[in-house]
Chains A and B, each alone.
Chain A
Amino acid sequence: MSTTRAADAVTVEALSVAFGDRQALSEVSFRVPAGAFVGILGPNGAGKTTLLRALLGQLSPRGRIEIERPVAYMPQLSDAQSAFPVDALGVVLMGLYPRLGWWRRPSRSDRDAARLLLDRVGLADRARSSFAELSGGQRQRVLLARALAQEGRVLLLDEPLAGVDTLSRELLLKAIGEERAAGRTALMTTHDLAEAGRVCDRLLVLNRELIAAGTTEQIFTEDVLRRAYGSDVLVLDGATAILDDPHHHPAGSSPWTG
């Protein structure tokens, strides 16, 4: 899925990760050209988050990973302690610490930079709102702004669009698009195949191993989807539908995608 090697932002060769006896990922190889927006798809337990953690250098996997640095990360919203006393601006400022130094207090210009990032995700007027007061979609936008503050060459996004309202989704995608226009690369895990097909230019389908990698047209075939999702695939007269685990779909979004 790459053009020339030099332009690859991520190269993964024969990546295997095991947690005790359980093999989370086996022999996964792929390349991501710089500037791509990659959707990482697969059912529950397919190893999507594990792949991101391996790319972040948190696991000690077998195989080879090359990734353009620095890497920015947006974990799942559920990882954040929403009751923690911090306002939206404070969360975005956290994203500056790795570059500015953990010992330093943020300066006025750091605060201005953080405010600009909040503006980019449509939250300029919520800078002083506590994280707990924000809606789910607004929290996701704050977490993306924190990742943007890291100024990574590669953005790793874990379920950034899960459970967000339409406005938040559009603002998140707009900000990710701006990053790509600036030459950055984004990898996003998602359960939403339709969404991924619409917004990503490349897809990786995982199910503990790499099922397929390619463009939307190459991926959306019955064969690939059956290998990834097994019996949870319905093929209706040429249109493919995936019955994914409904608990990943918050109220209001349909478990049926295709």
Chain B
Amino acid sequence: MLEAFDAPFMQRALLVGLVLAVPLGLVGTWVVLRALAFFTHAVGVGTFPGVVIGLGVPAIGPFAGALGAAGLITTAVVGLERDERARGGAVTGLVLSTAMAVGAVLLTSAFGLSTPVDAVLFGSLLATTVEDIQRAAVVAAVALVATILLARRLESATFDRAWSLPAGARPAATDAVLLALIAATVVVALPVVGSLLVSGLLVLPAATARLMVRNVSAMPAIASVIAACEITAGLAVARELDAPPGAVICALAGLTFACGLALERVPRPRLRRA
């Protein structure tokens, strides 16, 4: 498997992948515990038209395009969901399919881009640049500091919002930071996994970690380690099969989660009782 990483572009992809594993696990933990998977998917898909515009207008570039789109989608979903009638995923679904449609129209008609659509949607091994690594490192550092500093607030506000508000956990401000972290993580993970599958990498490793922990404190670190393993193995397999890395990594992550779920259901002697 190691020879898969002989080529410099593979080493860059691996490096960005391992750096990404940090925010994917840390932020993914709260995506899972807050049931924000669908929202995260909307932000991921929402970056698709942004990336297309960024590719079509070189002055913008795909990174700024994705960042702008992720910010816009986050604000739109949060703003529209203030209306109680729009809760329950309706707005998220609407934003998601609109973004996909706009992206498809722009890609095929407006710009007539030569970039293959699957590279934007599912990631590309060749696309990773040194800048991608730097951006991922910045987001990883911010996510690490923020989730450590906000751990107690996130925990209280997620477990019992009714208590956390008068207790001073400032759940609304905590939510805003979490949503910004989700958007930032999605954007920096795009080069490797693409817009359509990025939510899978924010959800699946953390969901697998959730099966393994009794206490939230261990969950972010375990989720990051799982993400790192899945990204490493996925990149190697993608190279071998010449398949889009995002697709292979997410398939592996889904398989790992399914195995975890199955293992949990196998009756076994309990080693430790609480």
Contact = CB atoms under 8 A, between A and B. Distances in A.
Interface of A: 53, 56-58, 71, 73-76, 79-81, 84-87, 90-91, 94-95, 97-98, 102-104, 126, 128-131, 133, 143, 146, 150
B169 A128 contact: no
Contacts, number: 83
B153 A56 contact: no
Interface residues of B, number: 26
Nearest to A156: B166
A86 B161 CA distance: 15
Contact of B160 (A80, A85, A128): A80
Interface string B118-159: 000000000000000000000000000000011011011011
A133 B273 CA distance: 12
Given A75-B160, A97-B152, A103-B152, A85 B166 contact: no
A73 B166 contact: yes
B159 A86 contact: yes
A133 B152 CA distance: 22
A71 B165 CA distance: 13
23 contacts: A53-B166, A56-B166, A73-B167, A74-B163, A79-B161, A80-B159, A84-B158, A84-B159, A87-B274, A90-B155, A90-B215, A97-B152, A97-B156, A97-B169, A98-B167, A98-B168, A102-B150, A102-B152, A126-B274, A130-B215, A133-B274, A143-B160, A150-B167
Contacts of A102: 150, 152-153, 168-169
Contacts of B167: 73, 94-95, 97-98, 150
Contact of A130 (B153, B217, B219, B274): B274
Contacts of B162: 75-76, 79
A58 B164 CA distance: 11
Contacts of A91: 159
A90 B153 CA distance: 13
A103 B149 CA distance: 5
B213 interface: yes
A81 B33 CA distance: 10
Nearest to B158: A84
Top 7 A-B pairs ranked by shortest CB distance? A79-B162, A75-B162, A56-B166, A80-B160, A84-B159, A129-B274, A85-B216
Contacts of B268: none
Contacts of A94: 152, 155-156, 159-160, 163, 167
B85 interface: no
A85 B150 CA distance: 17
B253 to A, nearest CB: 20
B265 interface: no
Contacts of A90: 155, 215-217
A85 B163 contact: no
Given A128-B274, A130-B274, A58 B166 contact: yes
Contacts of A97: 152, 156, 167, 169
A84 B167 CA distance: 19
Contacts of A58: 165-166
Nearest to B169: A102
A87 B215 contact: yes
Contacts of B161: 79
A71 B166 contact: yes
